[in-house]
């Protein structure tokens, strides 16, 4: 009998680590967490990414276990063909059910195709699925805050309105990161109160915690708390 990918994950199980992870992810049933450390998952993804077993595995959605979803994300992230990476991403996004899987999923091929990625982001950010929206904002934060930055992108994020905690937290994370890289361009989102009160204050909190924000900027931001 052949050993399945799920069998390989259970061979890497650390139950105590699984208990620790469960406390960080209240949206996930503890029974679906095997308890595998991220470096081990990434190593397994490297080992199997180009095998037929991996292709069969990523075609078996939905997965039962949290680690299966993370392994799926790491396999797709290693794809070098943009079109295939995008196709697999669109198939996978509706099945992401927690912040950790969402935030660890960054397809490398996306960085070389910013125009096509941006078109997809505009679709994802309008989704009704929490983690698809969170992923869209994360893509804007990852690939469009440096040399590709333009004023349209923070406007897209500020336009998102949601009561979902994991979306609101990503909005705050985006703007806190944007302040470290494009301070003068995005400060107006705080001075003009273009975010809801929770996101506004959480942005300031996270920015003030950053070592990339100067003391002078931190003092200015503290004065903008609502």
Spans of all domains in the chain: 1-110, 113-226
Tell me the per-residue pLDDT of 5-63, one tens digit each, with 9 for 90 and over.
999 999 999 999 999 999 999 999 999 999 999 999 999 999 999 999 999 999 999 99
Peptide bond into 62 cis (omega under 30): yes
> Is the CATH number of domain 113-226 2.40.160.60?
no
Distance CA 3, CA 118 (A): 40
CB 66 within 8 A of CB 9: no
pLDDT of residue 2: 55
pLDDT score of 3: 76
Distance CA 218, CA 215 (A): 5
The rounded distance, in Å, linking the Cα atoms of 95 and 45 is 19
- The one-character DSSP state at 51 is S
What's the alpha-carbon Rg for the chain, to the nearest Å?
A: 19
List of the chain residues with pLDDT < 70: 1-2
């Amino acid at each position: 009998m052949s050993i399945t990918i799920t069998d390989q994950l259970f061979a890497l199980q650390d139950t105590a680590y699984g208990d620790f992870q469960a406390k960080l992810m209240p949206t996930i049933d503890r029974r679906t967490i095997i308890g595998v450390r991220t470096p081990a998952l990434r190593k397994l993804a490297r080992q199997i990414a180009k095998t037929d077993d991996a292709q069969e595995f990523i075609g078996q959605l939905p997965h039962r276990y949290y680690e299966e979803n993370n392994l799926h994300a790491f396999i797709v992230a290693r794809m070098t063909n943009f079109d295939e990476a995008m196709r697999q991403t669109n198939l996978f996004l509706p099945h992401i059910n927690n912040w950790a899987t969402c935030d660890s999923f960054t397809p490398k091929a996306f960085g070389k195709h910013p125009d096509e990625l941006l078109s997809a982001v505009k679709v994802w950010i309008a989704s009704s699925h929490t983690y698809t929206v969170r992923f869209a904002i994360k893509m804007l934060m990852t690939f469009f805050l440096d040399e590709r930055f333009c004023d349209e992108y923070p406007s897209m994020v500020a336009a998102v309105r949601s009561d979902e905690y994991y979306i609101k937290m990503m909005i705050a994370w985006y703007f806190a990161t944007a302040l470290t890289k494009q301070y003068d361009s995005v400060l107006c989102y705080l001075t003009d109160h273009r975010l809801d009160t929770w996101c506004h204050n959480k942005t300031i909190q996270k920015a003030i915690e950053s070592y990339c924000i100067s003391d002078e900027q931190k003092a200015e931001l503290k004065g903008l708390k609502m």
